[in-house]
Amino acid sequence: MVWRYKQSGDFQPGTTCHDPWFSISVAGVKEIWEQAILPANLPLTILLGLVVLFWLLTLIGAASADALNIDVDADVDAQPGHAGDVFTVFLRLVNAGFVPLTVVLSILILAMWMISLTFNFYFNPAGALMLSIGFFFVSLVFGLIITKAVTQPLVPLMRRLKAAEDAAPVIGEIGVVKSIQLDSEYGQVEVIRPDGAPALLNARLAPNSEPLMRGASVAILSFEEGKGVYLARAIPVTPLEL
């Protein structure tokens, strides 16, 4: 595309002069696109495309973060010595317990995509498979660091918002364990509120308490501001008298 510039500084379509900045920008976008669709970068490009689609749908009101939220505890067994421990540590590392998971994953995927493109462009122009795999894990490590750095300032804000939304209505209320189990380290409890949506709380039991399985009833005792979790207590089940 070319433009002819008038002396006044305005421009109109013509064929007399190329805009060098426009040419450079088009060439840069084309080069990025060519790198993005290479086999070494294509998986992350697809994931980034899904992230962009999600946020576009959210912005136009066709979807929301709450509607498409992911229950990170649904299929993860947090028993000691199991893979659930690793996954729980991973989530805490990137502040997924405080910042919405959709935000965390969006930042992580964007960071990994940019790092993967950079490393493969400069150090793997031939697209060698082993180098591509190695750079994927490099991008994962750096992506986790970047995600942690970006989300860390949001943690205090999210804690205050969570406390303001849930602290007053749920203290002293009865809830149900929604995670695989609730113990002295980690778990999630759902409390039904009559004037609002159910509150899904990060909770724990007192030290040395017996773990509770999903579906058990608990009482919400207090909120620990420093840790951003609620302290819960099991509700003893008494047998019905005949």
User: Residue 214 in contact with residue 187, Cβ under 8 Å?
Assistant: no
- Are 43 and 130 found together in one domain? yes
Q: Pick the more confident residue, 231 or 228.
A: 231
What is residue 110's predicted lDDT score, i.e. its pLDDT?
95
Q: Give the number of other Cβ atoms within 10 Å of residue 146's Cβ.
A: 19
What is residue 141's predicted lDDT score, i.e. its pLDDT?
92
What is residue 20's predicted lDDT score, i.e. its pLDDT?
60
What is residue 75's predicted lDDT score, i.e. its pLDDT?
38
The helix (H) or strand (E) run that includes residue 51 is helix 42-59
Q: How would residue 193 be classed by pLDDT, with cut points 50, 70 and 90?
A: confident
**Is 108 a domain residue?**
yes
CA atoms within 13 A on the CB side of 24: 3
Close Cβ partners of 185 (under 8 Å, ≥ 6 residues apart): 204
Q: Could you report the per-residue pLDDT of 10-25, keeping only the tens digit for each?
A: 445 444 445 565 555 7
- Are 169 and 148 found together in one domain? no
Whole-number CA gyration radius for the chain: 25
What is residue 21's predicted lDDT score, i.e. its pLDDT?
58
Q: Which of 124, 152, 180 is the last residue of a domain?
A: 152
- Are 137 and 46 found together in one domain? yes
**Is 194 a domain residue?**
yes
User: Residue 172 in contact with residue 220, Cβ under 8 Å?
Assistant: yes
How far, in Å, are 3, 9, 170, 205, 232 from residue 215 at the CA level? Answer: 68, 70, 18, 15, 14
Average pLDDT over residues 214-232: 86
Q: Could you report the per-residue pLDDT of 68-90, keeping only the tens digit for each?
A: 444 443 333 444 444 456 666 77
- Are 86 and 111 found together in one domain? yes
Average pLDDT over residues 226-230: 81
Domain span at residue 223? 164-234
Q: Which of 38-47, 84-93, 102-111 is predicted least confidently?
A: 84-93
- Are 53 and 142 found together in one domain? yes
Q: Which of 58-67, 101-110, 111-120, 125-134 is predicted least confidently?
A: 58-67
Q: How would residue 241 be classed by pLDDT, with cut points 50, 70 and 90?
A: very low
Average pLDDT over residues 49-54: 92
**Is 141 a domain residue?**
yes
Q: For the chain, what is the domain count? A: 2
**Is 135 a domain residue?**
yes
User: Residue 24 in contact with residue 32, Cβ under 8 Å?
Assistant: no
**Any idea how long the chain is?**
242
Contacts 24+ apart (CB under 8 A), 69-73: 69/100, 69/101, 69/102, 70/101, 70/102, 72/96, 72/101, 73/178, 73/179, 73/180, 73/188
Mean pLDDT, rounded, of the chain: 76
pTM, full prediction: 0.54
How far, in Å, are 6, 7, 28, 91 from residue 17 at the CA level? Answer: 11, 13, 20, 54
- Are 41 and 147 found together in one domain? yes
